[in-house]
Amino acid sequence: MSVNSYADLKADIKRRMDSAVEVLKKEFSGLRTGRASVSLLDPVVVEAYGSSMPLNQVGNVNVPEPRMITVSVWDKGMVKAVEKAIRDAGLGLNPAADGQTVRVPIPPLNEERRHELQKVAGKYAEQCRVSVRNVRRDGMDGLKKLEKDGVISQDEQRNHEKEVQGMTDETIKRIDETLAHKEKEIMQV
């Protein structure tokens, strides 16, 4: 990417760091916490009409009660495929067909499973921290290039490096807060 000014570089760094945190939040939404959530079935892909489709493209996903998800399948012929896709998604769920509706009871999490989920959440957070550090590195390289090209002075480069480091620290702090919140949610009985 070619950057002509520090303002462009700073905006790009901020956008990339913010999107890393958004990806982390999306990944966290797929982690089970013992409560039913529509996003829990986001990773489910159904073999439908000769291709793979996201679950939300073959039916409506709802949460009628805290420990139950229902999928109202639009095409009656797809009910078995939806049931199989949910069972095979590796989420530890056991769906049951009821006419054109697939009911997915959410079993309570045991202590061992909660600790596994905490570890997975920690891995997601670390991947996010690494990507934020990569953005910082790209930003520092961009600053060096701007200084080399004569767009900014050495003093400005040093000041901007401190600012980029501050943005990085702030983003890492947000990641850690998001992780702490998710871990608390997972361990809540």
Highest mean pLDDT: which range of 26-30, 82-86, 110-114, 161-165: 161-165
Domains plus CATH for the chain? 6-30+110-187 (1.10.132.20), 38-105 (3.30.1360.40)
Looking at the predicted structure, is the pLDDT value of residue 47 above 80? yes
- 181 token code pair: 């919140």
Tokens of 52: 């793979």
* Planar angle of CA 150, 153, 156, nearest 5 degrees: 135
Closest CA to 102 of 127, 128, 80, 121: 80
The Cα 23–Cα 18 span in angstroms is 9
Please say whether the beta carbons of 97 and 80 come within 8 A.
yes
Residue corresponding to tokens 């679950």: 55
- Dump pLDDT digits (tens) for 117-156: 888 889 999 999 999 999 999 999 999 999 999 999 999 9
pLDDT attached to residue 112:
83
Measured in whole angstroms, how far is the alpha carbon of residue 47 from the centre of its chain? 24
Q: Do 41 and 88 contact (CB within 8 A), yes or no?
A: no
Which residues neighbour 54 within 8 Å (Cβ) at sequence distance 6 or greater? 42, 44, 45, 46
| Torsion region of 90: left, alpha or beta (phi above 0 gives left; psi -120 to 50 gives alpha) | left
Q: For 59-123, give the DSSP string.
A: EEEEEEETTEEEEEESSGGGHHHHHHHHHHTTS----EEETTEEEEE-PPPPHHHHHHHHHHHHH
Summarize pLDDT for 73-90 with one digit per residue, the tens: 998 888 999 999 988 877
Summarised one tens digit per residue, pLDDT across range 90-106 is: 777 889 998 899 999 88
